Amino acid sequence: MTTTAASTRTRSRAAMTIAATATVGQYDHVAAATYLMKHSGTTALTVLGGQQSSQPIGCITEPDIAAAMAQGKDLNEIRIRDLIAHRHAQAPSY
């Protein structure tokens, strides 16, 4: 099978679309976010509020997950909302 420039561009666009639309809920486990990041080829996910809400409330990134791992937290136990709330609580006020 020969790869053409057009098929390469199509795959690149598809990968970008998957990455741009990758979302998780605030009540999901951090392990689920890690899995989704790996399989969607992205380093950040949009976090949606509520169990039935499609309203974005923030994002979770690889550095957020790395920090939780460095603190010895179990990614199968901690929820995404816990990392996001922790990050916003430390935001500097100007």
Domains of the chain: 5-89 (3.10.580.10)
Mean predicted confidence (pLDDT) in 8-36:
73
What amino acid occupies position 83?
Answer: L
* Between residues 74 and 89, the one the model is more confident about: 74
Whose structure tokens read 């409330």? 57
* Between residues 61 and 93, the one the model is more confident about: 61
Q: Provide the token pair at 26.
A: 């605030």
pLDDT tens for 48-71 read 987 667 788 999 999 999 999 999
Give which of 88, 73, 90, 69 is closest to 26, Cα–Cα: 88
pTM of the model: 0.67
Q: How many CB atoms are located within 10 Å of the residue 65 CB?
A: 21
